[in-house]
């Protein structure tokens, strides 16, 4: 059913900046349009992870006092628009867990098409789930992996899932960011003015924190962020790009660049094309909703 197609969320990751949690907060504020159900941030000071998440808008979930408790130079954040599971606080992200290698938090935008199959197999092997989110499958797959290093465990885990995903992982000392082989959901990389890096679902988050856009994370690519190092890239999957058209039609903010193109200009060009395909004799073009403004301008100008 159409009302069940709720696949947008926002993810952000900040690494190597002393204002990490605050920058994550501002980035989530810029990405609020991608989810209003819940918001959360996990940060790391190199020793342990702290997580705050709650139902509601970003400005209501966080205040200065809460941000001060999220210490450290790395942080990941999420705004939720439910794709799977219910609307309880248990299904808010980041998903945090302690396991044999230490502590880890994950944020995820997208859907795993084989989530039920994986969950059933994990439960049969004794796994105990706390939520109904696809994302929790990853926690269990990583925890149960026989690989010795977290990087290898992440690669092992994502190799078992199918579907659309942009993922950001945070450990005590490292951050990892990845897109599925199709690059179905957007994820971009930027450089922060005070040092460090940012990854976010849309480039409008970069504008708010003054970050310089570097490039999109490639489909099937895994980025590793480590202290005092440039981001390392591993091409985990052979890329087969199949981008989500609704990012251009509805999800994304007009001032973002998504899949390498300006959302505003793409919507305007769509409006121009529509004027040729479906011309109408009219005095006025009215956009509904707000995301339709560029398309309406393009239609009106071409008409």
Just list the catalytic residues.
9
Torsion of CA 273, 274, 277, 281, to 10 degrees: -120
- The contacts of residue 103 (CB under 8 Å, 6+ apart) are 48, 49, 96, 97, 171, 172
Strand, helix or coil for residue 298: helix
Return the beta strands (E) in the chain as ranges: 10-15, 38-44, 49-55, 74-80, 95-99, 102-112, 163-170, 175-179, 188-191, 197-200, 212-216, 221-225, 232-235, 257-258, 261-262
CA distance 239 to 217: 11
CA 204 from chain center: how many Å?
13
d(CA 180, CA 158): 9
Handedness of CA 71, 35, 55, 204 (dihedral sign): positive
| Distance in angstroms (rounded) separating the CA atoms of residues 52 and 25 | 11
Residue 68 CB neighbours (<10 A): 10
> Residue 263 to residues 61, 148, 178, 182: CA-CA distances in angstroms?
29, 42, 22, 19
User: Is the CB of residue 142 less than 8 Å from the CB of residue 118?
Assistant: no
Asked if 211 contacts 164 with a C-beta cutoff of 8 angstroms, the reply is no
Name the E strands within 141-245.
163-170, 175-179, 188-191, 197-200, 212-216, 221-225, 232-235
């Amino acid at each position: 059913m159409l009302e069940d197609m709720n696949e947008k969320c926002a993810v952000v990751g900040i690494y190597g900046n002393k204002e990490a949690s605050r920058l994550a907060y501002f980035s989530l504020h810029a990405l609020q349009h991608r989810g209003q159900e819940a918001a959360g941030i996990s940060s790391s000071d190199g020793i342990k992870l702290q997580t705050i998440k709650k139902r509601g808008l970003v400005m209501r979930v966080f205040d200065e006092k809460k941000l001060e408790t999220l210490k450290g130079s790395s942080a990941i954040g999420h705004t939720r628009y439910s794709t799977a599971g219910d609307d309880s606080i248990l299904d808010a992200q980041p998903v945090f867990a302690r396991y044999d290698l230490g502590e880890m938090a994950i944020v995820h935008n997208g859907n795993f098409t084989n989530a039920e199959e994986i969950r059933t197999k994990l439960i049969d092997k004794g796994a105990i789930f706390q939520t109904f989110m696809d994302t929790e499958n990853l926690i269990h797959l990583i925890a149960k992996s026989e690989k010795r290093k977290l990087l290898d465990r992440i690669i092992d885990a994502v190799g078992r899932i199918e579907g659309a995903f942009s993922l950001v992982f945070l450990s005590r000392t490292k951050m990892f960011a990845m897109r599925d082989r199709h690059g179905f959901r957007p994820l971009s990389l930027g450089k922060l003015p005070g040092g460090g890096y940012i990854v976010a679902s849309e480039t409008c988050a970069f504008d708010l924190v003054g970050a310089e856009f570097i490039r999109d994370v490639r489909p099937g690519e895994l980025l590793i962020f480590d202290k005092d190092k440039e981001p390392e890239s591993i091409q985990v999957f052979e890329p087969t790009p199949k981008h989500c058209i609704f990012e251009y039609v509805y999800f994304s903010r007009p001032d973002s660049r998504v899949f390498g193109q300006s959302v505003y200009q793409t919507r305007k060009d769509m409006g121009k094309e529509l004027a040729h395909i479906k011309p109408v004799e009219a005095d006025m073009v009215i956009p509904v909703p707000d995301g339709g403004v560029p398309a309406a301008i393009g239609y009106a100008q071409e008409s």
